[in-house]
Amino acid sequence: MNTTIADRIEKEIVLKAPRSRVWRAISDPAEFGAWFKVDMSGVTFEAGEPVKAKMTYPGYEGMPFEMVIERIEP
């Protein structure tokens, strides 16, 4: 029996948007918040730093949203 617990979920998807638009959406906190329904007020993205915010997605409003920015590479 394998009892290993992964510390991440990885998924590859194809988006119907220009690369420049996708990069802006995942590298700029305000754009990220708009795409993923998260209040990113006062948040900055820095490699190695944690991000803490609140969800704004209907039905999940106010729930904690946490992630760590491992690296920033266009």
3 has pLDDT over 70: no
User: How far is residue 52's CA from residue 40's CA, in Å, rounded to a whole number?
Assistant: 8
Q: What is the pLDDT of residue 20?
A: 94
Q: Is the pTM of this model over 0.85?
A: no
Give me the mean pLDDT over the 50-65 stretch.
97
Nearest to 55 by CA among 43, 38, 71, 34: 38
Q: What is the pLDDT of residue 40?
A: 97
4 has pLDDT over 90: no
pLDDT tens digits for 13-29? 999 999 999 999 999 99
Task: Please report, in angstroms and rounded to a whole number, the separation of the first and last CA atoms in the chain.
Answer: 39
Each domain of the chain, given as residue ranges in start order, spans 19-68
Q: Which two tokens stand for residue 5?
A: 């617990």
Contacts 24+ apart (CB under 8 A), 20-28: 23/74, 27/72, 27/74
56 has pLDDT over 80: yes
User: How far is residue 21's CA from residue 54's CA, in Å, rounded to a whole number?
Assistant: 23
